[in-house]
Amino acid sequence: MIRSKRMIQTFTELVRIDSLSREEGEIAERLVRELKSLDAVVRIDDAGTRVGGNTGNVIAAIPGTKAAEPVLLSAHMDTVVPGRGIKPIVESDRIRSDGTTILGGDDKSGLAIILEVLTVLKERKLPHPPVEVVFTICEEAGLVGAKHLDARSLKSRHGLVLDSCAADSLFTRGPAADKLEFKVMGLAAHAGLCPEEGINAIQIAGEAIARMRLGRIDAETTANLGLIEGGSAVNIVPDRVVVRGEARGHDEARLTAQSSHMADCFRDAARAHRILKDGREVQATVDATISRDYPRMNLGEDAPVVKWVMAAAKKLDVPIRCQKTGGGCDANIFNGQGMNVANLGTGMREIHTVNEFLLLGEFNQTARVVLEMLRAV
């Protein structure tokens, strides 16, 4: 029942619409028109205004034709750079970029699947539960659109985000993440004339990082420092350095312990650096900021949406496995707001690169699974 050629046409049209984070206005207008043509009640929230974008999240409700609990379907509208002027190339088994930009399958493959499934439900007059659709902004900018969505306005408690790679992967577990920032304050001095009158913030940061556990901490915890800035000239002892990073973990207690360890490394390094200047002691300091960026996703195999997907896959005789991921997505935010939402792959590969492509067989499989799931709920 899924019309693959139509879905491919929809996808290629969507990826030709530029929609970098905070610039999703044009594609939002297109999606609103599509959803209204499917008899959906559509609105756009104020998330765009709150994050400095040109549109908010697109939220739609389609009445059910049978008595059942509502189901959420979600994908994000924004893409990463280089994402302007995308020229999709359709081949026998895949759609790829022309090599100068990304393709935008992340996540316009999810958008196209949802539109196709809803279209088939309407044109075939198939029984289905109430469906709520959320097309988010700024997912690539840190799940910002989902964070600014008022989940209390949704009736759905269960659903799917379509925003991952292999179509045989249903991601039910994903880590929580902490955002980390460490500001090291030392003391400036002339590096040639009187370096002993300064406290080198770069040196302190280096000592902290050298004693820190980073990378793969254990099977469920990772940590990374990704940005560092500081100093003003090579002949000045640097008095300030800012280091930014993250820690992720499926176990929130171990995640908290890792983030605290990283902060302690900076504090311990700073405590070791002090000087006497003009009769007073000057001590290096660290301002450590740790904030929970997003909550974990942790669905059991008995969660309704997991059972719905697995039943649909069994009926269609296609393989799908529950898996865990080290990445975050909008599903993390939905789950943190009291919902039960899993992330199903759409067939995209080599995302966030100019070599990105979408496997058509998997693209079609996911659409069939979502359609069958809605018919069976």
Which of 23, 139, 178, 239 is catalytic? The answer is 139
Closest alpha carbon to 26 in 68, 60, 55, 52 = 55
Residue 139 annotated among the catalytic residues of the structure: yes
**What does the alpha-carbon distance between residue 142 and residue 196 come to, in Å, rounded to a whole number?**
42
Full DSSP string of 280-291: EEEE-EEEEEEE
Contact predicate 167/351, CB 8 Å: no
Contact predicate 62/118, CB 8 Å: yes
Closest alpha carbon to 184 in 207, 167, 153, 164 = 207
Half-sphere exposure of 166 (CA within 13 A, CB side): 12
Count of H-run helices and E-run strands, the chain: 10, 22
Residue 302 annotated among the catalytic residues of the structure: no
Which of 34, 78, 140, 372 is catalytic? The answer is 78
β-strands 169-174, 321-324: how paired? parallel
Element holding 4 (H helix, E strand): helix 4-15
**What does the alpha-carbon distance between residue 107 and residue 346 come to, in Å, rounded to a whole number?**
9
β-strands 274-277, 94-96: how paired? unpaired
DSSP 22: T
SS3 261: helix
Catalytic residues: 78, 139
